[in-house]
Amino acid sequence: MNHKLKTLFHSDEAFLNQQEGLKDVQQQKGNFEFDIQEVGISNVKLPIILKEQERLQTPLATIKLTTSLKSNERGTHMSRLIQNLELYLAKPLTLPLVKELVQQIARSLAQERVDLAIDFPWVFDTTSPVMQLTSTQHANLQLNISYDSPQTMELWVVMKIGVTTLCPCSKEISMYGAHNQRGFITMQAKVDETAISDNWKHDLKNIALSNASAPIYNVLKREDEKFVTEEAYQNPRFVEDLARLVAADLEEVHWIKHYKVTCENEESIHLHNAIAVIESNK
Amino acid sequence: MNHKLKTLFHSDEAFLNQQEGLKDVQQQKGNFEFDIQEVGISNVKLPIILKEQERLQTPLATIKLTTSLKSNERGTHMSRLIQNLELYLAKPLTLPLVKELVQQIARSLAQERVDLAIDFPWVFDTTSPVMQLTSTQHANLQLNISYDSPQTMELWVVMKIGVTTLCPCSKEISMYGAHNQRGFITMQAKVDETAISDNWKHDLKNIALSNASAPIYNVLKREDEKFVTEEAYQNPRFVEDLARLVAADLEEVHWIKHYKVTCENEESIHLHNAIAVIESNK
Amino acid sequence: MNHKLKTLFHSDEAFLNQQEGLKDVQQQKGNFEFDIQEVGISNVKLPIILKEQERLQTPLATIKLTTSLKSNERGTHMSRLIQNLELYLAKPLTLPLVKELVQQIARSLAQERVDLAIDFPWVFDTTSPVMQLTSTQHANLQLNISYDSPQTMELWVVMKIGVTTLCPCSKEISMYGAHNQRGFITMQAKVDETAISDNWKHDLKNIALSNASAPIYNVLKREDEKFVTEEAYQNPRFVEDLARLVAADLEEVHWIKHYKVTCENEESIHLHNAIAVIESNK
Amino acid sequence: MNHKLKTLFHSDEAFLNQQEGLKDVQQQKGNFEFDIQEVGISNVKLPIILKEQERLQTPLATIKLTTSLKSNERGTHMSRLIQNLELYLAKPLTLPLVKELVQQIARSLAQERVDLAIDFPWVFDTTSPVMQLTSTQHANLQLNISYDSPQTMELWVVMKIGVTTLCPCSKEISMYGAHNQRGFITMQAKVDETAISDNWKHDLKNIALSNASAPIYNVLKREDEKFVTEEAYQNPRFVEDLARLVAADLEEVHWIKHYKVTCENEESIHLHNAIAVIESNK
């Protein structure tokens, strides 16, 4: 089969001779044996526009956009993918816009399946617990959309956010102190796009922060540092506890149909991490 | 549910008071609502031993090892995971050894599911095409094993390897030259462990290199450079072509039950990549 | 000396007992033996504001901000550093603003030396060479300022930008084709802040793009792809050539007092890179 | 100057016409205006051989090797660089071997300056403090050699190693607990190669571990976890303290002529790091 394919890729003379002007090799038809599930562009860097209440944000996003390709088609239209990305992402990024983009790609390339993933940092304000100082924090977001025409569309939103975690075992067995560290909570949620809250970024953020040993802040004065140190000590969390607490909250979000939560603690007493994963179809 | 869980994690006094000596908080029993699919350690760095024909290799591997945890158990035994890794990986790494390790973990932690992923670089020799100079190349490998007792075990081997790719369209439409670049081929293969070839690393490597526009070498003299430049020009490959050619060869490997091939070209005329993915259950 | 220091760090009871309310351990005075050249915060992620002609950009920047610390002071004021960053970076980022920020830090912390580095992606438009299609490209920038009071201030601007490079040797020795690849040009320039052009980002970008085998574009139609393929073939560049050509242009920029240019080609026929560095005090 | 250079790079017909067989473009002579300080290969991945007392280690190293190039020479000999690397690194890596390698490169390429940097992970054993369990830890090392003939040779060894750090301020102001985290200590040392200890890796490692709030171990049982939790609480360290303590020890190592220590704490209460740098010419 491999040999036959190689020949096919080489023997496109007849096909090319029919064409005038610049030849279009991608347009070659034949029996290329394999449907391709995903073909397109990855690691695309484009600025996006987020119209947040607090401020306009235009972070550089990292994007992957692919379509399927039937076994009788040799190549896809890479430049149409990037052109549509440039066109659509010049408008403020919303879930309806992303949905429109993948439908447009499916039509324009006449393919049944389209996959799009957009990764970007999102910035939000925090207020320190005692001195009430405002500072800027960030989380990493991903919009992930899988379109399979005629009508299947799966939309996932993903947030990865940092928190403080403190070990219950270390606290319990030690005369004083307890090891604590940065933990990262990743929440992947398949959403009901007709029901999703406008406030979904803050909803997910609050679920993460409220279940950690303590939130993380950029600016802390000493009064605040005392507060978060003691708060963490009063709220020890195994990585397992944290995953379950976050799952319990995600269960109750009505616009989430399926979720996966991954908690990873950058253990201060080891060079490796502790990790826990819960996935639920609700 | 979240509130109930928080209370449970705090009200472990009764449980702890029964214990003497160092308390064991992880051992707390209760209704923690959620089974955890994966809990354990990640980003573990340990040297492994590869007894290759050509030479002994002891690269530093990056490892993730997790088990399931039932909803009535609060925590897992992290230190048993790392201790078993240290114990088993002191022996030469083979597929039977890895299988034994996950079974031992399942028994030792009395859990049904165990997942293990070991990532490491693998070194092999190449010979330049004209001057026949030997040099050293590497690919990244992953062993991935999912154990679900009593008897389900899925074993995947993964190789990511670099090649040269040259664009057929650019070649066809241009009076001279054609853009070419580094491409990376990732082959993920679910294997029949009773049938897998001892030579599986070389088998996968050869499939990748033989289907590229040209292989990649560390050492090339000018005679060799002429050869690979012309070889690439004579064998142009779209990212789609490359994925199909590799798939065609993986189809015919008898010890592979299911595979996924991902080709990603670091386009020399763009800052983004071109990508194609084929997955098949054979 | 180490032992004496350890004792000092432990025996701060007397110092602390003088204080009321929340103790301020950082304020401890003593003979701590070593001046510290740089102490502060790193890997800070904050959005910045770039008022470019074409569009407003608010990328997430990665920041390091440090001061010196004399041997008689135990600790610095980390929270003042981050607070000043938040305050200043809420305004559009300009070179005068950055200069004001480091002077403010020097005053506020009563330190002689301040070092600030701000890394961020910068987005610009490109027009494809034949079809004249506009698309979006990016480069990575760094502002680097070293302040040493009373009046020494060194300001560096750094750009890392991608281009296409094609090997002259491969072209010359081969019957057809020539290996080409992504190359990255890093220009570090110590600037005369009284003379620097408002257009410095475009100036540096144009120096890089005009000396490469070909520029890189996000969007290329086939007519464009033909053009850049042939352009690269007509303008082969060793990594040495590219470094010298860029240096020759940087020599003539009147607002640059000292520069370092690093060219790194991601060779398509090797897994390693080719690199060349020229540094000149003009 | 740029224009003249471009012409020169294009007008090599006369030069090439003198040659028979495969043309050697790199060998072109002329006035290329700029000496190049460093030209060669980077991101080379090769296995190295470490003959440690405890075990043989063959990690994959990341290597950069460059030479100078005079303004009258167009290109260097990249393949000689990689061939010599392959040749020399097939032997156990020692400081004399590395010295021999750069001298050989200087001779072989007839260049005055050679720079070599070899990065690799190094594995060592640790013993848990109470249960005395042996486990495997790693640090990242770099050998860095700058040769400037006839007789100048600077040899630097660099170690980056992880530790636990606990904040003195957080401990002092809080009723219970104290934030702690992973910290990384980087020690760069210019060495007297005639005096350097055979045990230099362990010497540097011990300096880092003995000055931290606590060492880091892969395997800790609960008795050990209690120990290191309390040890860290009893030995709080600002990032400034840690840098000074390490500096105090490096001052007393007789084979170190110049050093730079960088301590970076991955603060558990922030997403940014705290950093301190001390450099000394002794």
Distance separating alpha carbons of residues C213 and C164, to the nearest angstrom: 6
Q: DSSP string of A26-85?
A: GG-BS--S--EEEEEEEEEEEE-BEE-SS-EEBPEEEEEEEEEE-TTB----HHHHHHHH
Mutation for testing the B interface, residue in C135, C160, C169, C179 having most B CBs under 10 Å: C179
pLDDT value, residue D11: 62
| Closest by CA position to B103, among listed B116, B94, B89, B92 | B116
Q: Is B175 on the interface with C (CB under 8 A)?
A: yes
Distance separating alpha carbons of residues B255 and B196, to the nearest angstrom: 5
C contact chains, 3+ CB pairs < 8 A: A, B, D
Q: At A226, list the tokens.
A: 């005392």
As a three-state string, the secondary structure of chain B is: CHHHHHHHHHCCHHHHHCCCCCCCHHHCECCCCCCEEEEEEEEEEEECEEECCCCEEECEEEEEEEEEECCCECCCCHHHHHHHHHHHCCCECCHHHHHHHHHHHHHHHCCCEEEEEEEEEEEEEEECCCCCCEEEEEEEEEEEEEEECCCEEEEEEEEEEEEEEECHHHHHHCCCCCCEEEEEEEEEEEECCCCCCCCHHHHHHHHHHHHCCECCCCCCCHHHHHHHHHHHHHCCCCHHHHHHHHHHHHHCCCCEEEEEEEEEECCCCCCCEEEEEEEECC
| pLDDT tens-digit map of A192-203 | 989 999 999 999
Mutation for testing the A interface, residue in D128, D164, D179, D267 having most A CBs under 10 Å: D179
Q: Nearest CA of chain C to the CA of A254: how many Å? A: 32
Q: Is C183 on the interface with D (CB under 8 A)?
A: no
| pLDDT confidence bin for C165, thresholds 50/70/90 | very high
Does the bond joining C150 to the residue before it have cis omega, within 30 degrees of 0? yes
| pLDDT tens-digit map of B242-268 | 999 999 999 999 999 999 999 999 999
Please give the interface size between B and D, counted as residue pairs whose CB atoms are below 8 Å apart: 74
Distance separating alpha carbons of residues B76 and B70, to the nearest angstrom: 10
pLDDT value, residue D77: 92
Closest residue in A to C219 (Cα–Cα): A79
Name the DSSP letter for residue C26.
G
B contact chains, 3+ CB pairs < 8 A: A, C, D
Q: Are strands C134-148 and C113-127 parallel, antiparallel or unpaired?
A: antiparallel
User: For chain C, how big is the Rg over CA atoms in Å?
Assistant: 24
Look up tokens 């790199």; give the residue.
D26
SS3 at position A226: helix
Q: How many CB atoms lie within 10 A of CB D263?
A: 33
Average pLDDT over residues A118-126: 97
Distance separating alpha carbons of residues B41 and B82, to the nearest angstrom: 8
Does the bond joining A121 to the residue before it have cis omega, within 30 degrees of 0? no
Asked if the model's pLDDT at residue A166 lies above 90, the reply is yes
Q: Is C168 on the interface with D (CB under 8 A)?
A: yes
Look up tokens 């390709």; give the residue.
A69
Mean per-residue pLDDT over chain D, rounded: 94
Cβ of C39 and D240 within 8 Å?
Answer: yes
Among B177, B228, B266, beta carbon nearest to C230: B177
| Closest by CA position to B42, among listed B24, B55, B15, B61 | B61
D contact chains, 3+ CB pairs < 8 A: A, B, C
Average pLDDT over residues D67-82: 96
Q: Is B213 left (phi over 0), alpha (psi -120 to 50) or beta?
A: alpha
Please give the interface size between C and D, counted as residue pairs whose CB atoms are below 8 Å apart: 182
pLDDT value, residue B13: 62
Asked if the model's pLDDT at residue A21 lies above 90, the reply is no
SS3 at position C62: strand
Q: Compute the CA torsion angle C80, C82, C86, C89 (nearest 10 deg).
A: 110
Cβ of B5 and A241 within 8 Å?
Answer: yes
Mean per-residue pLDDT over chain B, rounded: 94
Name the DSSP letter for residue D29.
B
Cβ of A86 and C219 within 8 Å?
Answer: yes
Asked if the model's pLDDT at residue D240 lies above 90, the reply is yes
Q: Which residues of D touch B83 (CB under 8 A)?
A: 133, 135, 219
| Closest by CA position to B254, among listed B210, B186, B187, B200 | B200
The hierarchical CATH code for the domain A151-282 is 3.10.270.10
pLDDT value, residue B12: 61
Among D216, D222, D270, beta carbon nearest to A270: D216
Q: DSSP string of D215-259?
A: ---S---HHHHHHHHHHHHHS---HHHHHHHHHHHHHT-TTEEEE
Q: Which residues of C touch A223 (CB under 8 A)?
A: 22
SS3 at position C9: helix
Distance separating alpha carbons of residues C108 and B273, to the nearest angstrom: 47
Mean per-residue pLDDT over chain A, rounded: 94
| Closest by CA position to A263, among listed A181, A156, A176 | A181
Cβ of C82 and A135 within 8 Å?
Answer: yes
Q: Compute the CA torsion angle D160, D163, D168, D173 (nearest 10 deg).
A: 130
Please give the interface size between A and B, counted as residue pairs whose CB atoms are below 8 Å apart: 182
Average pLDDT over residues A140-144: 98
Among C38, C41, C275, beta carbon nearest to D277: C38
Look up tokens 């993933």; give the residue.
A117
Q: Which of A4-8, A61-65, B15-19 has the lowest mean pLDDT?
A: B15-19
| pLDDT confidence bin for C12, thresholds 50/70/90 | low
ipTM of the predicted structure? 0.94
Average pLDDT over residues B116-129: 97
Whether the CB-CB separation of A176 and D230 falls below 8 Å is answered with yes
Q: Which residues of B touch C126 (CB under 8 A)?
A: none
Whether the CB-CB separation of C278 and D65 falls below 8 Å is answered with no
Asked if the model's pLDDT at residue C15 lies above 70, the reply is no
Whether the CB-CB separation of D156 and D211 falls below 8 Å is answered with no
Whether the CB-CB separation of D182 and D134 falls below 8 Å is answered with no
Q: Which residues of B touch A181 (CB under 8 A)?
A: none
Q: Which residues of D touch C276 (CB under 8 A)?
A: 36, 38-39, 69
Q: Position B28: which residue type?
A: Q
| Closest by CA position to D196, among listed D248, D149, D254, D142 | D254
Distance separating alpha carbons of residues A232 and D179, to the nearest angstrom: 9
Cβ of C275 and D240 within 8 Å?
Answer: no
Cβ of A76 and B247 within 8 Å?
Answer: no
Instruction: Give the domain ranges of chain C.
Output: 151-282
pLDDT value, residue B150: 67
Q: At C258, list the tokens.
A: 């000292």
Output the CA–CA distances (angstroms, integers) from residue A107 to A34, A35, B147, C281, in the order listed.
22, 18, 42, 57
Cβ of D59 and B47 within 8 Å?
Answer: yes
pLDDT value, residue A218: 93
Which pTM does this prediction carry?
Answer: 0.96
Q: Nearest CA of chain C to the CA of D24: how many Å? A: 7
Name the DSSP letter for residue C282.
-
Asked if the model's pLDDT at residue C21 lies above 90, the reply is no
Q: How many CB atoms lie within 10 A of CB B269?
A: 22
Q: How many CB atoms lie within 10 A of CB C257?
A: 16
Mutation for testing the B interface, residue in D60, D128, D134 having most B CBs under 10 Å: D60
SS3 at position D121: strand
Q: At C244, list the tokens.
A: 């010298």
Distance separating alpha carbons of residues A105 and B48, to the nearest angstrom: 46
Beta bridge partners of residue D259, listed in sequence order: D189, D280
Q: Are strands B180-191 and C56-57 parallel, antiparallel or unpaired?
A: unpaired
Look up tokens 């705090």; give the residue.
B10
Average pLDDT over residues D244-248: 98
| pLDDT tens-digit map of D24-66 | 888 888 899 999 999 999 999 999 999 988 789 999 999 999 9
Q: Which residues of B touch A240 (CB under 8 A)?
A: 32, 36, 39, 69, 74-76
Which residues between 188 and 247 in chain C have a beta carbon less than 8 angstroms from any beta carbon of chain D? Answer: 211, 236-241, 243-245, 247
Distance separating alpha carbons of residues C272 and B214, to the nearest angstrom: 16
Look up tokens 């992973």; give the residue.
D182
pLDDT value, residue B11: 62
Output the CA–CA distances (angstroms, integers) from residue B9 to A235, B34, C93, in the order listed.
9, 14, 47
Cβ of D86 and B60 within 8 Å?
Answer: no
Distance separating alpha carbons of residues A78 and A92, to the nearest angstrom: 24
pLDDT value, residue A12: 62
Look up tokens 């993380």; give the residue.
A216
Asked if the model's pLDDT at residue B3 lies above 90, the reply is no
Whether the CB-CB separation of D162 and D186 falls below 8 Å is answered with no
Q: Which residues of A touch B240 (CB under 8 A)?
A: 32, 36, 39, 69, 74-76
Q: Nearest CA of chain A to the CA of D73: how many Å? A: 38
pLDDT value, residue D167: 95
Asked if the model's pLDDT at residue C228 lies above 90, the reply is yes
Among D164, D175, D269, beta carbon nearest to A225: D269
Among C44, C83, C219, beta carbon nearest to A83: C219
Closest residue in C to B233 (Cα–Cα): C177
pLDDT value, residue B251: 97
Helices (H), A117-236: 168-173, 200-211, 222-234
Q: At C82, list the tokens.
A: 């981050």
Burial C215-251 (b: 16+ CB within 10 A, else e): bbbbbbbbebbbbbbbbbbebbbbbbbbbbbbbbbbe
Q: Nearest CA of chain D to the CA of A247: how many Å? A: 23
pLDDT value, residue D13: 62
Q: Is B273 left (phi over 0), alpha (psi -120 to 50) or beta?
A: beta
Q: Nearest CA of chain D to the CA of A149: how many Å? A: 42
Mean per-residue pLDDT over chain C, rounded: 94
Output the CA–CA distances (angstroms, integers) from residue C191 to C97, D187, D246, in the order listed.
15, 31, 36
Asked if the model's pLDDT at residue A280 lies above 80, the reply is yes
pLDDT value, residue C151: 76
Asked if the model's pLDDT at residue B142 lies above 90, the reply is yes
Percentage of chain A exceeding pLDDT 90: 86
Cβ of A75 and B34 within 8 Å?
Answer: no
Cβ of B222 and D24 within 8 Å?
Answer: yes
Q: Nearest CA of chain A to the CA of D114: how many Å? A: 35
Cβ of D138 and B45 within 8 Å?
Answer: yes
Whether the CB-CB separation of B91 and B49 falls below 8 Å is answered with yes
Cβ of A86 and C45 within 8 Å?
Answer: no
φ/ψ (deg, to 5) at A244: -70, -40
Output the CA–CA distances (angstroms, integers) from residue B35 to B151, B250, C142, D272, in the order listed.
20, 37, 47, 34
Cβ of A59 and C58 within 8 Å?
Answer: yes
Beta bridge partners of residue B159, listed in sequence order: B141, B187
Asked if the model's pLDDT at residue B176 lies above 80, the reply is yes
| pLDDT tens-digit map of C64-123 | 999 999 999 999 999 999 999 999 999 999 999 999 999 999 999 999 999 999 999 999
| pLDDT tens-digit map of B193-246 | 899 999 999 999 999 999 999 999 999 999 999 999 999 999 999 999 999 999
